[in-house]
Amino acid sequence: MPSFSRPDWSGRFNRLERACADLPVDALVCSSPVSIRYLSGFAGSAGLLVLVPNRPPILLVDGRYAASVADDIAADRIAPVTIELVERRYEGGLATLLDRLHLTTVGFEAAHVTVAALEAWKKVTPATQWRATEQLVERLRIIKDDAEQQILRRAGRLLAGVARALPELVSTGLTERGIASAIDDAIERAGFSAPAFTTIVASGPHSAHPHARPTDRELRAGDLVVLDFGGVLDGYCVDLTRMAVVGQPTADAFALYAAVRDAHRAAVDTVRPGIPASAIDAAARDVLTSRGFGDAFVHATGHGLGLEVHEDPRIGRADGGDSERIERGMVFTIEPGAYVSQRGGVRLEDDVLVTTDGCEVLTDAPRDLLVV
């Protein structure tokens, strides 16, 4: 077993400090729980992380968390932050801190702070100039560092193990909900702390809905069945989709499956540093279009994975503007699909880590149409 490396907290903090250097701010207040977790390891549901150059990050928490945060720092489970206890309301604690440290120009995460929250902060910090920032922490998170790659590799292997067990979990006589429950149990047994999202088991006509939720529908002969599930390991999400069919597939169903399988392969084969994300999407979309399923592919080819199950980069059409450039260390899904109303849908999904000259498939498990 390799030993797992401790997150490089100071590396993350230094990169953020460099990203902030061009901004005219004395400090950055992170309020997004994901940003806070990425920068400090603190994973509570409330808290503010205040970053001031040349100081340890300051974590504002309320009484519910104070004891556990101190324990976590002592045990080296989270970054060595300075704890600032909030007595009542977070905005009050924040105002006191900014005042004490003479911080007057302060950045905030505009994509996370609501209009109402900013108003509340402004009310108690009349001397503060608040500056909207965007994508500062998200831009760091898009490239996974060594500790993150280790976790995601391990998570991918565990999820592939669950995929390999699908023949034992999916059978006729079961409902979508029953199969989803069996998959969730397998995810937990594999060592994940939780499913990464509500497991999708979508059979027959339901498979034509990309975001279907499991129902009490029993599998029936001829059904295509979308099995889309994921797990959270040490806070990081992985995500995988495989397909089953009840009995031998019709020629139409198999053609749909084969088109998606080939689109998936074409997209994976395209991944390498330096190309725009849209080139990966185009590789999948071209295959589906050539088989007559271009309009049936109603979503993007993939999305980033990390502390969130949907994060940057978006692997989709260029959409008018520039498409993200693929870089080494990115981790994202490749999940083309094709959905034909009333008849059924197919999706195949894996997670890839971009390497120097291509990608590593983190969730390597058979992609065959599983006949049940």
**How many of the chain's residues bind its own copies (CB under 8 A)?**
41
In the complex, what is the shortest distance from the CB of residue 146 to its own copies, in angstroms, rounded to a whole number?
25
In the complex, what is the shortest distance from the CB of residue 19 to its own copies, in angstroms, rounded to a whole number?
17
Nearest partner of 264 among 293, 230, 234, 302, judged by Cα? 302
Retrieve residue 356's tokens: 């120097």
The window from 51-59, 141-149, 186-194, 255-263 that contacts its own copies (CB under 8 A) reads: 186-194
183: CB partners within 8 A, 6+ apart: 162, 166, 169, 199, 201, 227, 229
**Between 214 and 249, CB nearer to its own copies:** 214
Task: Name the burial class of residue 125, with classes exposed (0-12), middle (13-18) and buried (19+) by CB atoms within 10 angstroms of its CB.
Answer: buried
Nearest partner of 90 among 132, 136, 59, judged by Cα? 59
The window from 22-30, 113-121, 158-166, 244-252 that contacts its own copies (CB under 8 A) reads: 113-121
Q: Which residue has the tokens 């999407």?
A: 281
Calpha distance 92→121 (Å, rounded): 8
Phi–psi pair at 354, nearest 5 degrees: -75, 130
The window from 3-11, 48-56, 65-73, 253-261 that contacts its own copies (CB under 8 A) reads: 65-73
230 within 8 A of 183, measured Cβ to Cβ? no
Q: Which of residues 74-93 bind its own copies (CB under 8 A)?
A: 88
- Binding residue (CB under 8 A) for its own copies from 114, 126, 251, 357: 114
In the complex, what is the shortest distance from the CB of residue 11 to its own copies, in angstroms, rounded to a whole number?
26
Q: How many CB atoms lie within 10 A of CB 258?
A: 15
Nearest partner of 230 among 280, 156, 173, 283, judged by Cα? 156
Q: Binding of its own copies at residue 192 (CB under 8 A)?
A: no
- Binding residue (CB under 8 A) for its own copies from 76, 134, 146, 327: 134
Q: Binding of its own copies at residue 118 (CB under 8 A)?
A: yes
Site string for its own copies, 238-277 (x = CB under 8 A): ----------------------------------------
Strands (E) located in 200-294: 200-203, 224-233, 236-245
In the complex, what is the shortest distance from the CB of residue 194 to its own copies, in angstroms, rounded to a whole number?
7
Q: Binding of its own copies at residue 117 (CB under 8 A)?
A: yes
The window from 190-198, 218-226, 256-264, 359-367 that contacts its own copies (CB under 8 A) reads: 190-198
Site string for its own copies, 153-182 (x = CB under 8 A): ----------------------------x-
- Binding residue (CB under 8 A) for its own copies from 33, 44, 329, 358: 44
List Cβ<8 Å contacts ≥24 apart for 15-24: 15/140, 16/51, 16/136, 16/137, 16/140, 17/51, 17/53, 19/136, 19/139, 19/140, 20/51, 20/53, 20/107, 20/133, 20/136, 23/107, 23/131, 23/133, 24/105, 24/131
Where does this chain bind its own copies (CB under 8 A)?
43-45, 63-65, 67-68, 71, 88, 108, 110-119, 132, 134, 181, 184-185, 188, 193-194, 198, 208-213, 298-299, 319, 339, 341
